[in-house]
């Protein structure tokens, strides 16, 4: 939410909720991301979607994606 360039907190919260729903991240929104080998957190697929979501929230004017769900 800090990287979003809007003035109102209401819009920021609404936008975050929308992206969570679209990318199917609602169930893991309060889950620790995790530390490889030490602390289990979200799955690999959820991690990739989270990375994509953090970029989408900033409303980039151009977004190039090359196989975002592959290793």
What confidence tens digit (pLDDT) does each residue in 17-28 have? 999 999 889 998
How far apart (Å, rounded) are the C-alpha atoms in residues 56 and 54?
6
Closest CA to 2 of 12, 17, 10, 14: 12
User: If pLDDT is split at 50, 70 and 90, which confidence band does 38 have?
Assistant: confident
* Three-class SS state of 35: strand
Mean pLDDT of all residues in 63-69 = 74
User: If pLDDT is split at 50, 70 and 90, which confidence band does 37 have?
Assistant: confident
pLDDT of residue 71: 57
pTM metric for this prediction: 0.73
Phi then psi for residue 35, to 5 deg, are -130, 115
């Amino acid at each position: 939410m800090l990287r979003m360039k809007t003035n109102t907190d209401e819009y920021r919260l609404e936008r975050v909720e929308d992206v969570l729903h679209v990318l199917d991240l609602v169930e893991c929104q309060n889950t620790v991301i995790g530390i490889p080998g030490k602390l289990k957190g979200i799955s690999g697929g959820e991690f990739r979607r989270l990375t994509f979501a953090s970029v989408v929230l900033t409303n980039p004017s151009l977004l190039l994606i090359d196989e975002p769900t592959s290793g």
